[in-house]
Amino acid sequence: STPRLLGPAEIRDLAALLDVTPTKRLGQNFVHDANTVRRIVQTAGVQRGETVLEIGPGLGSLTLGLLEAGASVTAVEIDRRLAEQLPHTVRVMQPGTQLTVVCDDALRVTALPGEAPSRLVANLPYNVSVPVLLHLLEHFPSLTSGIVMVQAEVGHRLAAEAGSKVYGAPSVKAAWYGTWRIAGQVSRMVFWPVPNVDSVLVGFERGVEPGTEAERRATFAIVDAAFQQRRKMLRQSLSAVLGGSSATATAVLGRAGVDPQSRGEQLQVGDFLAIARAAAAPVG
Ligand code: SAM
């Protein structure tokens, strides 16, 4: 009988059929292990009938797992050959399931056809995983949770707490939208071609954003400045964004209740927001 998920043979045959040479530029590493796919779908807690957004379906490994679990899938794929093949693969391997394919750059989509997705489940292209996540969280408020597979180093950054060695701008920005956790490890051997990094599954649950959209932009600019010079004290690293001198920066930081001699890696997202608010407030 026809298999319902892609194994090594199906991946090989599909790649040959499409004459696909996976490109590094698009982070094309395809999962050829059904157990890994089922584990991701299970970890994500996908519910029958819910609408799942998948970014970068590729040859369809994860897409078929999501459809098997009864999800209705909206998949955004930038590579036209892959986007065009996917409905055919699904029709043969899992007829009668609900798939919508959008051929576009996930960094640019701001609207999707059909029902608003409640969950994100994706094996993200490595080089753009953080910008893609932040873009989706900003533009699709219906996404309340998700599981994504990313490079291990990036996953640990997303889930990092203030004060940890890997805590950085992505950690603070991710925390703006909710809470993040490492949900599992994935061996590089489940991919074709085999990448030279290991992967992790990262889970997120959306929370209430701590500020307005204007405040978010101002906060993110301050976060970027603080981590561009992460070894420096905030009164120095933030001098340009907070009025142009270390004296003006010290004054703003004082009003925000943040020690001007501390460093970005010690602050939570709420502290950065307090700085943005202090910078925007008229000085009386
Ligand atoms: N989901 C498949 C799997 O698990 O086998 C493929 C995952 S592969 C790591 C990443 C996929 O994202 C590729 O199919 C690639 O073409 C696609 N991709 C890369 N950049 C993209 C972008 N900016 N927008 C949408 N898709 C993108």
Residue 91's contacts (CB-CB under 8 Å, 6 or more residues apart) are none
Phi, psi dihedral angles at 143 (to 5 degrees): -75, 105
Residue 125 preceded by cis peptide, ω within 30: no
* Helices (H), ranges, the chain: 8-18, 34-44, 61-68, 80-93, 129-139, 152-158, 169-177, 213-228, 234-237, 246-256, 269-280
The answer, yes or no, to whether residue 282 has pLDDT greater than 90, is no
- Residue 123's Cβ-count burial label (10 Å; 0-12, 13-18, 19+) is buried
Place of tokens 């009988």: 1
Fill in the DSSP letter of residue 268.
-
Our answer on whether the CB atom of 20 is closer than 6 Å to any ligand 1 atom is no
Average pLDDT of the chain is 96
Which residue bears the tokens 């707490």? 161
CA torsion 106-112-114-119 (nearest 10°) is: 50
Largest CA distance in the chain: 76
Ligand-binding annotation for 123, yes or no, is: yes
pLDDT for 28 beyond 90? yes
pLDDT at 277 exceeding the cut of 70: yes
> Is ipTM strictly over 0.90?
yes
Pocket probe mutation, ligand 1, options 28, 128, 187, max atoms within 8 Å of Cβ: 28
Centroid of ligand 1 to alpha carbon of 38 (angstroms): 18
Q: What is the tens place of the pLDDT at every residue in 213-255?
A: 999 999 999 999 999 999 999 999 999 999 999 999 999 999 9
- Give the ligand 1 atom nearest the CA of 76: 25
User: Does the annotation list 77 as a binding residue?
Assistant: yes
Tell me the Ramachandran region of residue 244: left when phi exceeds 0, alpha when psi lies from -120 to 50, beta otherwise: left
Report the separation in Å between the CA atom of 87 and the middle of ligand 1, taken as the mean of its atom positions: 16
Residue 77 β-bridge partners: 103
Alpha-carbon gap, residue 102 to 98, rounded angstroms: 13
User: Do 100 and 115 contact (CB within 8 A), yes or no?
Assistant: no
The reply to whether ligand 1 has any atom less than 6 angstroms from the CB of 60 is no
The average pLDDT across 100-119 equals: 98
User: 3-state class of 178 per DSSP?
Assistant: strand
- Can you tell me the distance from the alpha carbon of 105 to that of 279, in angstroms, rounded to the nearest whole number? 35
Ligand 1 atom closest to the CA of 56, numbered from 1: 12
Annotated binding-site residue? 29: yes
Query: 31 a known binding residue?
Result: yes
